[in-house]
Amino acid sequence: KQEVTQIPAALSVPEGENLVLNCSFTDSAIYNLQWFRQDPGKGLTSLLLIQSSQREQTSGRLNASLDKSSGRSTLYIAASQPGDSATYLCAVPYSGAGSYQLTFGKGTKLSVIP
């Protein structure tokens, strides 16, 4: 059974700092890994999808890396802004018998202090 862990559970940084969020998973046989952002009481916004064959994926100030062999992914946020404050979740898909479901970590709650 796939398990996904995100450390730390919460992180507070001053504005302008670069930061790294961590995600680890137990079963390295994954298709991809997806990073999401969630604002309080809202749905999930997809940030990046990184395929199993990729090492990195970039979107603006965000960079996600994937190391399947070690079961790890990191989300790097450059020059953090107060608007980046949210909970960040990583998820990996399980596909059995043609179905599809995501297994999520518990998330990292990020606070960027002006």
Give the binding site for other proteins (CB under 8 A): 31-32, 34, 36, 41-46, 49, 51, 89, 91, 93, 95-107
Residue 13 φ then ψ, to 5°: -135, 155
Q: How far is the CB of 79 from other proteins (least distance, A)?
A: 25
Q: Give the whole-angstrom CA distance, residue 27 versus residue 110.
A: 26
Cα dihedral sign, 23-61-93-66: negative
Q: How far is the CB of 89 from other proteins (least distance, A)?
A: 7
Residue 14 or 100: which CB sits closer to other proteins? 100
Token pair for 60: 């603006």
Residue 48 or 112: which CB sits closer to other proteins? 48
Q: How far is the CB of 13 from other proteins (least distance, A)?
A: 23
Residue 47 or 77: which CB sits closer to other proteins? 47
Q: Give the whole-angstrom CA distance, residue 45 versus residue 20.
A: 19
